[in-house]
Structure formats: structure tokens, C-alpha cells
């Protein structure tokens, strides 16, 4: 089987990471690479780490250029995916790494994104209950946000196990690639190095409703989520520190058991032995999710921590994993659980 894949938005971080992974995928052949303002430039000058593609030229993102592929990855600004997908035809697998098709509730979409809602596609977080079934054979995939990936995998066993109150408090640290290649003063190296700063404080981050959407069905009621992201001095990685009050009867043992059960057969989720802590370095460049959980008896809270690479499992790796499922390929094909460390 040869799967011919185009990547729209190949000059950015998400597009570059998709190409990095697709280059190592044994069934994939890389087709058109498109950009917008960068059309006409060599990929070698934009993504110098992708040596095998150094001589490829970016084309404009048009239906003609994207036509004739089995799969199209979209790494586009919010609000642009639906129009592109509409032109591609139903037989093409469209993998949207943007936000446009993640949220089920149009009101959430309106409140946090402020554009017309493009509708919902099967959600590419295979570890969530029921997700693999929805992804099998689909031609449309909504790749989750990076924070919702980390948070949902940290917390869902606690909710699935009926152990946690429906109020979650989350503080996540992210590397600056999560903000993309946008030229903003606060993303300059001189600002970022040696500094930690929060943003979206007070419930303003767009990934919040996506977390609510993922966790509520497991809790059996609407989970209120308090989410604060912080920007830390590294290029890649997310560490999500999540907590919720434990429901009566929860013990350290029942908590551990819920996580062991949830992740016994998950190829990419690595529940760490007790006492060992996740670190973003351990998952650098890999599709692995490292998870630890503890019960703080004094505070009466469950503390669950996860580490992912925001560009790999948090974006392009999760996208490839879901693509594999949609195409009927082995889920782990072209993906690794081995981080590049130190």
C-alpha cells in the first residue's frame, strides 16, 4: 500500500512535524507541499532539518495542487480548513490539525473562536473510549488540541473510574513552539529564555471547552475546568498538572488501579511506576504520553500529571496515529515511543 500524502501549511511547525513523521512512515509517499506567503520558496530554507525534502518547492494552497492525493494534512490558520476540505472530495482523507472541527457545541465555538462553526469531525484522540470506532474508515479527522490531548489523557481514568469531582484545576507548561511561528514580540528568544509567564488567565484559553467536552461524558455530568497555560523556556513539550477533589471512598490503591486498567493496552501511554515523574524531555520527538497519578490525602485531591511533545502526540503524531486507524493500517506505524534525550 502506498499512501500519497499532501501537506497544506508545510512551512509552519505543525506542518514541519507532520513531514518529519511522514518521511519515516513506511507506507507514505510525500506529495504536494503548500504554503501561503512562502509559496515558491525551497523547503530547505524553511525547514532545514528535513534534509530529504530540501530541494522541494512550496506551492500555493489550491484545490488543483492538493488534488490527487489519498490523504491531505491541513496545517492552516483557524477558520480555513472547511473551505479547503470542501474542495477535496469525499474520497480523500482530510486530517485537520487546526481547531475548526473539534467542538460539538456551536456556542462554545462562537464564544472562543468567533467565526462560523464548520461542524464536527471524528475526534482524533484514539485513547478516549469509543474514539477508535469513530475513526475507523473515516475520511475526516479533527486532530485534538495539544493541551486537551495532555489533559484528557491525564484525567480521563479518574473520571471513568468515578473517583473525581467534576471540577478540574489544570496548570500546564508549554514549549514555545505551541504558539507557532508567528512573529510576536513575546515569542522572541530573548524574551522567552529565562522566563515563565502565564496567558489566557481566568478561563480565556480556547482549549478549555475542548477539555470540558472530552471529560464530561466520562464524569457523567458537565466538568467545570479551570485551565491556566504557562509559557516556559523550551522549544517543545507540555507538562500538564491536573487535579480534582477525590470523591469519597477514593484511595491511593483504587486510583492507581483505575489508571492501570485504563492504560494496560495503550501503545503510546506509558503509566510510570509509582514515584517516578514524567518529564517533557523523555517524550521529546516521540508519540509517547508519560502519566503519573497520586492521591494527596491531606488536600483530598487527585493529582495527575502527563507529559507529551506538543508537536508530536499533541499535533502531528496524534494526526498520523489517527490516519493509521482511518486507513486500516497498524496504529503504531511510523511512530515511536522513544524520546530524544537528553
As annotated, the active-site residues are 146
**Binding range to a second copy, per CB under 8 A, among 124-132, 141-149, 154-162, 198-206:** 198-206
From residue 303 to residue 332, what is the string marking binding to a second copy with x (rule CB under 8 A)? x-x-x-------------------------
CA distance 185 to 55: 31
Based on the shown chain and the rule CB under 8 A, indicate whether residue 203 belongs to the binding site for a second copy. Answer: yes
* Residue number with CB closer to a second copy (66 or 316): 316
Q: Please give the order of strands across the beta sheet that includes 289-296.
A: 197-198, 224-231, 164-174, 238-246, 301-308, 289-296, 269-271
Residues numbered 155-174 forming contacts with a second copy, rule: CB under 8 A: 167, 169, 171, 173
Residues numbered 53-92 forming contacts with a second copy, rule: CB under 8 A: 54
Instruction: Name residues whose C-beta falls within 8 Å of residue 248's C-beta, 6 or more positions apart in sequence.
Output: none
Minimal distance, residue 118 CB to a second copy, in Å: 23
**Binding range to a second copy, per CB under 8 A, among 66-74, 80-88, 177-185, 323-331:** 177-185
* Residue number with CB closer to a second copy (81 or 282): 282
Minimal distance, residue 81 CB to a second copy, in Å: 23
Residues numbered 204-263 forming contacts with a second copy, rule: CB under 8 A: 208, 224-226, 228, 230, 232-237, 239, 241, 243, 245
- Reference 142, options 20, 322, 333, 310; nearest CA is 322
Based on the shown chain and the rule CB under 8 A, indicate whether residue 41 belongs to the binding site for a second copy. Answer: no
- CA geometry: angle 207, 151, 13, nearest 5 deg: 60
How many alpha carbons fall within 13 Å on the CB side of residue 140? Answer: 17
Cell numbers found for residue 315:
499535533
Residue located via cell numbers 506542518: 15
Amino acid at each position: 500500500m502506498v499512501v500519497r500524502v499532501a501537506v497544506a501549511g508545510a512551512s509552519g511547525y505543525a506542518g514541519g512535524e507532520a513531514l518529519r513523521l511522514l518521511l519515516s512512515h513506511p507506507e507514505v509517499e510525500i506529495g504536494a507541499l503548500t504554503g501561503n506567503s512562502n509559496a515558491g520558496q525551497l523547503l530547505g530554507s524553511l525547514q532545514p532539518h528535513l534534509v530529504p525534502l530540501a530541494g522541494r518547492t512550496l506551492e500555493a494552497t489550491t484545490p488543483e495542487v492538493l488534488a490527487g492525493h489519498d490523504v491531505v494534512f491541513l496545517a492552516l490558520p483557524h477558520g480555513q480548513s472547511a473551505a479547503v476540505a470542501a474542495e477535496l472530495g469525499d474520497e480523500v482523507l482530510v486530517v485537520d490539525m487546526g481547531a475548526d472541527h473539534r467542538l460539538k457545541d456551536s456556542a462554545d465555538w462562537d464564544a472562543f473562536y468567533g467565526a462560523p462553526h464548520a461542524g464536527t469531525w471524528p475526534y482524533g484522540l484514539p485513547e478516549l473510549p469509543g474514539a477508535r470506532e469513530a475513526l475507523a474508515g473515516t475520511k475526516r479527522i479533527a486532530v485534538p488540541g495539544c493541551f486537551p490531548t495532555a489533559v484528557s489523557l491525564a484525567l480521563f481514568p479518574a473520571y471513568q473510574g468515578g473517583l473525581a469531582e467534576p471540577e478540574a484545576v489544570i496548570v500546564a507548561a508549554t514549549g514555545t513552539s505551541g504558539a507557532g511561528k508567528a512573529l510576536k514580540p513575546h515569542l522572541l528568544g530573548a524574551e522567552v529564555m529565562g522566563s515563565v509567564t502565564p496567558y489566557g488567565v481566568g478561563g480565556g484559553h480556547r482549549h478549555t471547552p475542548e477539555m470540558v467536552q472530552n471529560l464530561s461524558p466520562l464524569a457523567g455530568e458537565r466538568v467545570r475546568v479551570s485551565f491556566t497555560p504557562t509559557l516556559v523556556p523550551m522549544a517543545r513539550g507540555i507538562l500538564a498538572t491536573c487535579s480534582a477533589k477525590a470523591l469519597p471512598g477514593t484511595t491511593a490503591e483504587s486510583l492507581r488501579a483505575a489508571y492501570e486498567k485504563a492504560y494496560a493496552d495503550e501503545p503510546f501511554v506509558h503509566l510510570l511506576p509509582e514515584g517516578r515523574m514524567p518529564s517533557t524531555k523523555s517524550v521529546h520527538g516521540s508519540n509517547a504520553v508519560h502519566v503519573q497519578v497520586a492521591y494527596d490525602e491531606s488536600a483530598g485531591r487527585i493529582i495527575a500529571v502527563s507529559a507529551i511533545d506538543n508537536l508530536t502526540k499533541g499535533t502531528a503524531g496524534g494526526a498520523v496515529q489517527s490516519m493509521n486507524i482511518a486507513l486500516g493500517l497498524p496504529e503504531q506505524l511510523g511512530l515511536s515511543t522513544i524520546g530524544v534525550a537528553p
